[in-house]
Amino acid sequence: MLEPAHIHFKIHKPFGMLSQMHSNDDKESRNKRFLSELYNFPEGIMPIGRLDEKSEGLLLLTTDGKLSDQINRSGVEKEYYVQLDGEITNEAIKLLQHGVEIGFHGKKYTTKKTSVHGLSIPPILPDPDKKLRIGRHRPTSWISITITEGKFRQVRKMTAAVGFPTLRLIRIRIGNINLKELSPGKVIPVKELSF
C-alpha cells in the first residue's frame, strides 16, 4: 500500500505569532497568536524548526515528521537579516564569524563559525510592527547572518554577546528555499522540500 503523499507549506511568519498551531493552555491562548489563524492547515502539520514570537520571516511546515527531524539535524543553512541597536563594527562582525560564547540550557556554548556581513543599504522589507521601537533614539545597522545550527534564540544571543542587541530579526532563507516577496501572514503550498 502506498503511503499518503506528504503536504508542505512555506509561510511568512508575522511578528507577534508563535511557531505552533495552537495552545494546550486556555490562558495562554487568550493573549497569543498561533499559525492556525493563517490558513486551514491539514491534520498532522508541524513547523520545521522555530522562529520566536518576536522574529519574522520564512517558516516551513510539513506533515512529514521524518523530514522535519532530518532538516533540523542536518545543518541546513538558515539566513537572516538582522537589524541591530547601534552601528556594528568590523571587529564585532569578525567575532560573530569566528563563533561567540552564548548561554544555552544554563551552560556556556560556543557557536560554530558562520557567514556574517554588514548590509550598507537596509534590505527592502515590510514595515516593522509598531511594537518594535526602532531607531527612535539611536542609530541602527543591518547584517546578514547565515547559521547551520539553531539553538534557542541563537542569533539574538550572538549579537548581544558582541554588544549589538537585535532589534528586528527576519529569516529570509532555509537551504535553497527563499522568502522572496512573500508578505507577512502569506501561506503558499510547496510541492516538495529538498535540501
The answer to whether the CB of 88 falls within 8 A of the CB of 150 is no
The answer to whether the CB of 84 falls within 8 A of the CB of 64 is no
Whether 129 sits among the annotated catalytic residues: the reply is no
Give 12's strand partners.
58
The answer to whether the CB of 171 falls within 8 A of the CB of 51 is yes
Nearest-angstrom CA–CA distance, 170 and 145: 10
26, 52, 69, 85: the active-site residue: 52
The answer to whether the CB of 171 falls within 8 A of the CB of 58 is yes
3-state secondary structure of 20: coil
Which amino acid, 110? T
Q: What phi and psi, each to the nearest 5 degrees, are found at residue 122? A: -55, 140
Nearest-angstrom CA–CA distance, 168 and 14: 12
Q: Give the catalytic positions in this structure.
A: 52
